[in-house]
């Protein structure tokens, strides 16, 4: 989690308290965290061994919502895993931004 926290603080200029809240949903999902850390290292989404949740990979989510960075994409992967109906609704609505 340190790599993700450092990315948010140093590159995204988040305050430490805000960064800690942003990464909280990732805590119980080691596979999603690991893939996000790989994204931080090389800024590309995996192709061959990507995680798929509800039929979606991180790259697919990014293609649907290019305004999200890796942290947003992987936090959305958590949404798909924990609340699949909500995640699928957001996808169907085209990732509305308020």
Three-state DSSP at 53 gives strand
Q: What CA–CA distance (Å, rounded) separates 52 from 77?
A: 9
What pLDDT, on the 0 to 100 scale, is given for residue 29? 98
Q: How far is CA 32 from the centre of its chain?
A: 8
What pLDDT, on the 0 to 100 scale, is given for residue 98? 67
Q: For 79-95, what is each residue's pLDDT tens digit?
A: 999 999 999 999 999 99
Q: For 33-75, what is each residue's pLDDT tens digit?
A: 999 999 999 999 998 899 999 999 999 999 999 999 999 999 9
Distances in whole angstroms, Cα of residue 97 to Cα of each of 26, 28, 76, 87: 22, 27, 14, 14
Q: What CA–CA distance (Å, rounded) separates 98 from 96?
A: 6
Residue spans of the domains in the chain: they are 2-92
Q: From 50, 65, 73, 91, select the one nearest 4 (Cα to Cα).
A: 73
pLDDT at 97 over 80: no
């Amino acid at each position: 989690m340190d790599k993700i926290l450092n990315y948010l603080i140093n590159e995204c200029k988040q305050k430490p308290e805000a960064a800690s809240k942003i990464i909280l949903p990732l805590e119980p999902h080691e596979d999603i965290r690991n893939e996000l850390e790989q994204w931080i290292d090389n800024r590309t989404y995996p192709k061959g061994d990507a995680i798929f949740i509800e039929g979606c990979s991180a790259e697919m989510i990014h293609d649907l919502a290019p305004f999200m960075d890796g942290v947003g994409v992987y936090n959305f992967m958590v949404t798909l895993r924990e609340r699949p109906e909500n995640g699928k609704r957001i996808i169907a609505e085209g990732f509305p931004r308020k």
